[in-house]
């Protein structure tokens, strides 16, 4: 089997490149000063985003991290606020501690189940605590959907919503870190409005599976979004002629949302081909079946992860080490079915050679 110059990058869905059509939309975008609310393309993106997820308003943000941080800052406005969140949540582990350092919110961290859920009993327990001079007050619960490629079922999210609503004497909001909420909607054959309905606020990325080069949005009530917009300015997120970037987001929402099904199918195909090609090596290699566009391979001690990654890279297959037990593979719009077939052959070949050595 010969190598080829074309690199297949399945490290993440953040590595996607704008298509020519998306670049054209950016080049011809109508622009103005977005801080003054005069950029028509940004205004249109925010209108469309709010409508898509069924909220009153939305604000365009530079990144998903910024969107989550703004939500933390809004919910953390009241003194001695506590946010219930997963111990392994992206907001907690991969966003530089903004929830504490900038939002000044205390966190009650619940260990995530393997599929990303927070156990309902654990949520119920913390929400049932009575007000006490010794304790902070829970103002919000944060969920992440998807979580490492796992989908939070809509029925589960509605159960968490009910727990929040049962709290007496104060409002407990439910926030979604929905960087890949698009994938969760597609996987469940639901609309974005349906998967967003239980949440008070929703953050969505446009620069992952949808393929925009930058940006996302935070949606909620008009009051919530207006406060978030003020915090956006505070932390340097107020942009001027941002319509050039917003145009890419609009194009992505219109043209790349439904095609996420292709990424999901490609992930299933790759996992299936690897499972078939590595049959007989189950004591050394575990392939975790994908629910969306992300899946993981776990290695026994007989497989050196660094050696595997280097040999794949030498043969133009880029894979992420974002997994302490093995590797992560993320299918994206830059990867075709032919790429999947070729990548599977290389990965199988490399792993067989490592196990024989």
Confidence category of residue 1, pLDDT binned at 50, 70, 90: very low
- One fold for 8-15+259-356 and 31-255: no
Q: In whole angstroms, give the CA distance from residue 242 to residue 40.
A: 10
CATH topology of domain 31-255: 3.40.640
Average pLDDT over residues 108-134: 92
Q: Looking at residues 304-323, what average pLDDT do you find?
A: 94
Among 150, 195, 194, 190, CA closest to 176: 195
* 71: pLDDT strictly greater than 60: yes
Residue 5 — pLDDT band, cuts 50, 70, 90? low
In this structure, the chain runs to a length of 357
Query: Residue 302 — very low, low, confident or very high, per pLDDT cuts 50/70/90?
Result: confident
Is the pLDDT score of 229 beyond 50? yes
Domain ranges (residues) in the chain: 8-15+259-356, 31-255
Q: What is the average pLDDT across 309-325? A: 93
Torsional sign, CA 343, 347, 353, 357: positive
What's the pLDDT at 357?
66
What is the average pLDDT across 177-184? 98
* Nearest alpha-carbon partner for 177 in 114, 230, 223, 219: 219
Residue 322: predicted pLDDT: 85
Lowest mean pLDDT among 131-135, 161-165, 312-316, 322-326: 131-135
pLDDT tier, 207 (very low <50, low <70, confident <90, very high otherwise)? very high
Number of other residues whose CB lies within 10 A of the CB of residue 107:
21
Mean pLDDT computed over 163-185: 97
In this prediction, residues 223-237 reach a mean pLDDT of 96
Quote the tokens at residue 51.
Answer: 């409508």
Q: Is the pLDDT of residue 2 over 60?
A: no
* Token couple for 200: 């008070």
Looking at the chain, the number of H-run helices and the number of E-run strands are 14, 12
Angle (nearest 5°) at CA 157 between 151 and 162: 170
Helix H or strand E segment including 201? strand 201-205
Instruction: Tell me which residue of 316, 307, 314, 329 sits closest to 13, measured CA to CA.
Output: 329
How many C-beta neighbours within 10 Å does residue 221 have?
Answer: 14
**Residue 21 CB coordination number (10 Å):** 10
Place of tokens 């993981």: 296
Q: Please state, for a pLDDT cut of 90, what percent of the chain lies above it.
A: 87
CATH number at 8-15+259-356? 3.90.1150.10
pLDDT of residue 325: 85
**Mean pLDDT for all residues in the chain:** 95
């Amino acid at each position: 089997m010969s190598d080829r110059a074309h690199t297949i990058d399945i490290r993440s869905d953040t590595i996607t490149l704008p298509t020519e059509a998306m670049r054209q939309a950016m080049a011809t975008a109508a622009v103005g000063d977005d801080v003054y609310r005069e950029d028509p393309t940004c205004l249109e993106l925010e209108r469309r985003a709010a409508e898509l997820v069924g909220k009153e308003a939305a604000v365009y943000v530079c990144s998903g991290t910024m969107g989550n941080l703004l939500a933390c800052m809004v919910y953390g406005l009241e003194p001695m606020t506590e946010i219930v969140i997963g111990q392994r949540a992206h907001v907690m582990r991969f966003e530089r501690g903004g929830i504490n350092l900038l939002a000044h919110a205390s966190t009650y961290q619940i260990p995530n189940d393997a599929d990303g859920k927070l156990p309902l009993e654990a949520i119920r327990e913390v929400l049932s605590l009575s007000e006490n001079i010794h304790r902070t007050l829970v103002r919000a619960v944060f969920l992440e959907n998807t979580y490492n490629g796992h989908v939070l079922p809509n029925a589960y999210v509605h159960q968490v919503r009910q727990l929040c609503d049962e709290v007496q004497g104060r409002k407990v909001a439910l926030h979604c870190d929905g960087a890949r909420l698009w994938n969760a909607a597609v996987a469940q054959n639901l609309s974005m409005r349906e998967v967003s309905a239980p949440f008070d606020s929703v953050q969505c990325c446009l620069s992952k599976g949808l393929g925009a080069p930058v940006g996302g949005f935070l949606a909620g009530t008009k009051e919530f979004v207006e406060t978030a917009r003020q915090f956006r300015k505070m932390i340097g997120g107020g942009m001027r002629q941002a319509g050039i970037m917003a145009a890419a987001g609009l194009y992505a929402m219109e043209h790349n949302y439904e095609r996420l099904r292709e990424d999901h199918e490609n992930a299933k195909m790759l996992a299936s081909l690897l499972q078939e090609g590595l049959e007989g090596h189950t004591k050394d290699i575990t392939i975790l079946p994908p629910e969306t566009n992300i899946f993981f391979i776990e290695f026994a001690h007989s497989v050196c992860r660094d050696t595997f990654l280097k040999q794949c890279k030498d043969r133009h297959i880029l894979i992420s080490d974002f997994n302490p037990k093995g590797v992560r593979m993320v299918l994206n719009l830059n990867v075709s079915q032919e790429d999947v077939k070729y990548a599977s052959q290389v990965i199988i070949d490399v792993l067989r050679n490592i196990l024989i050595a």
